[in-house]
A = this chain, B = another copy of it.
Amino acid sequence: MALFVQKYGGSSVADAECMRRVAKRIYDTQQAGNQVVVVVSAMGDTTDDLIALAKQVNPEPNEREMDSLMATGEMASSAILTMALHAIGAKAISMTGHQAGIRVDGTHLKAKIQKIDPKRIRRHLDQGCVVVVAGFQGMNPSEDVATLGRGGSDTTAVALAAALKADRCQILKDVDGVFTANPRVVPSARKLDEIAYEEMLELASAGSEVLQSRAVEYAKNYGVVLEVLSSFEVKPGTLVREEDEEMEQMIIRGIAADKNQAKATLLGVPDTPGVAARIFKSLAAANINVDMIVQNVSAAGVTDVSFTVAKDDIAKTRRVIEPLVKAVKAAGLNFDGDIAKVSIVGVGMKSHSGVAYKMFEVLAENRINIEMISTSEIKISVAIRAKEADQAVRSLHAAFGMAKAPARKAAKKRK
């Protein structure tokens, strides 16, 4: 008997009809001879509605109270889904994060899971129940509810899978899996059968919204095999797992574009030691994530320092940097919200040279100007004009031959 953890997001349980469809899917999984633990998000727009209501009574709601409020969304949907399971004859029980034994640290709105005691879940699994756990939440040391932040239900699912030593953690979504590129941009994009944890992590930080980095990191650390699959159709999705020889041999596994980027440039900065440190220390202190950084040293002893931040952070960045313009004797500061970051990701890069060269060449052939570059061992990102992003993704997808599945080095033993 295998143990599956299945996670359903808010759009998969948006109304009664969705609940019934999801219940059937879960029951089928159990009837096929498996134990099933389900993690469920709040129904549809519930969380957004609760946040809007909170802001109506208090523009800056207290974080503990926000957590108490938002957590009710997942509690309600876990109870409703359990009722839907009962309606079709399944044995099932709902649990809050607390009842499921999920203990988190004290940081409200972005708590971290510290420990899971799955005793109660196990007892009910052993009695033949489907256990439906409210995602996104746990109990903190003060006996208050705290939520896990964006993508928190994915993290709940992975953490439960780790604690229960589940055979697989399935993240059911409104997409069929992880694709080589966004199918809405690249019609020939191909669903991947498998992807390595590291690649998935790079794609997530490069703008792919399929999975949150945190859940993937957790899965990687605990060796949980993740599967991203469709909540609407029953067919295999994409396995996210440790890279090995059996995995498809692809130099580039995926291409992602992130249009939520803005470039800030500090102009005419005197080229003296410590200036960059000063700027980025201030940004870090203000909790602003800086992604790419470029500094061009000029002959005249002054330099331009450019970096990218999330578009939402432009105002905050301006507040932090403007006082520094004078302090570091820079000539000025400007922002450019019209850029996009395009990234190619693949573990195959480690053993293949010339990947960066090929990327730059393809972009040049398409008359796309590269404004910034940043690389990791398995990723190359470039900042380009936002309006050229789709064209860049399509050209790269074609040039790297990603529409066609490559041969495998070793015979495939898919679980």
Question: Which A residues have a C-beta under 8 Å from some C-beta of B?
Answer: 16, 19-20, 23, 50, 53-54, 56-59, 61-62, 64-66, 68-69, 71-72, 75-76, 78-80, 82-84, 86-87, 93-94, 96, 99, 143-144
Contacts and interface: CB of A to CB of B under 8 A. Distances in A.
B56 A16 contact: yes
Q: Is the interface of A mostly helix, strand, loop or mixed?
A: helix
A86 B69 contact: no
A272 to B, nearest CB: 46
A86 B68 contact: no
B62 A82 contact: yes
Given A65-B80, A66-B83, A68-B78, 12 more contacts: A19-B57, A50-B76, A57-B80, A57-B84, A62-B83, A62-B86, A65-B79, A68-B75, A68-B94, A69-B83, A72-B76, A75-B75
Contacts of A20: 57
A319 to B, nearest CB: 24
Contact of A69 (B58, B59, B62, B79): B79
Contacts of A94: 65, 68
B65 A69 contact: no
A86 B58 contact: yes
Contacts of A83: 54, 57-58, 61-62, 65-66, 69
Contacts of A59: 87
Nearest to A72: B72
B53 A16 contact: yes
A23 B57 CA distance: 10
Nearest to A120: B143
A232 to B, nearest CB: 18
A123 to B, nearest CB: 11
Nearest to A81: B57
Contacts of A75: 68-69, 71-72, 75
A80 B76 contact: no
Contacts of A71: 75
A19 to B, nearest CB: 5
17 contacts: A50-B76, A54-B83, A57-B80, A57-B83, A57-B84, A61-B83, A61-B86, A62-B82, A62-B83, A65-B83, A68-B79, A68-B94, A68-B96, A69-B76, A69-B80, A71-B75, A99-B143
Contact of A58 (B53, B84, B93, B96): B84
A61 B53 CA distance: 28
A38 to B, nearest CB: 14
A80 B64 CA distance: 11
Nearest to A75: B72
Contacts of A143: 99
A62 B85 CA distance: 11
Contacts of A82: 62, 65
Contacts of A50: 76
